[in-house]
């Protein structure tokens, strides 16, 4: 069935890593909670599918930007808790500034400071 009352937006490729790293800056959590956090914090605009989430987490772990260990979640289920590594913090800073540069650049195209209009 189809339902997206808050009309969701698709993730642009490359932004998921940034969102995950930023989420983990607040402290270690498990994958499921990361997805919920992103959805809630973005006011339901963004939704991370599990088919994107888990491969992304494994990718980040392989690059040693995050590290993981099994624990029990609040609700008593086995869950894999991820935390930022020092390299992950650096990566986050880098991706954050890349994002800012990129969105500023797009802004320049969309609203050129040039003359325009009457």
Site string for a copy of itself, 26-45 (x = CB under 8 A): ------------x--xxx-x
Distance CA 5, CA 90 (A): 37
SS3 31: helix
* 98, interface contact from a copy of itself, DNA, none, CB < 5-8 Å by kind: a copy of itself
H helices of the chain, in order, are 15-24, 31-41, 50-62, 86-110
- Does 62 interact with a copy of itself (rule: CB under 8 A)? no
- Does 5 interact with a copy of itself (rule: CB under 8 A)? no
Report the site for DNA in 3-42 (rule: CB under 7 A): 10-11, 13-17, 30-33
- Does 76 interact with DNA (rule: CB under 7 A)? yes
Q: How does DSSP assign 51-76, residue by residue? A: HHHHHHHHHHHHTTSEEEEEEE-TTS
**What is the binding site for DNA (CB under 7 A)?**
1, 10-11, 13-17, 30-33, 47-52, 54-59, 73-81
């Amino acid at each position: 069935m189809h339902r997206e009352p808050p009309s969701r937006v698709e993730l642009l490729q490359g932004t998921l890593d940034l969102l995950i790293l930023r989420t983990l800056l607040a402290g270690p959590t498990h994958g499921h909670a990361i997805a919920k956090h992103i959805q809630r914090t973005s006011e339901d605009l963004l939704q991370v599918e599990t088919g994107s989430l888990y491969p992304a987490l494994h990718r980040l772990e392989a690059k040693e930007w995050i590290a993981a260990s099994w624990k029990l979640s609040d609700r008593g289920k086995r869950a894999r808790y991820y935390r930022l590594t020092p390299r992950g913090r650096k990566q986050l800073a880098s991706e954050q500034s890349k994002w800012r540069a990129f969105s500023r650049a797009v802004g320049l195209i969309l609203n050129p400071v040039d003359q325009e209009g009457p």
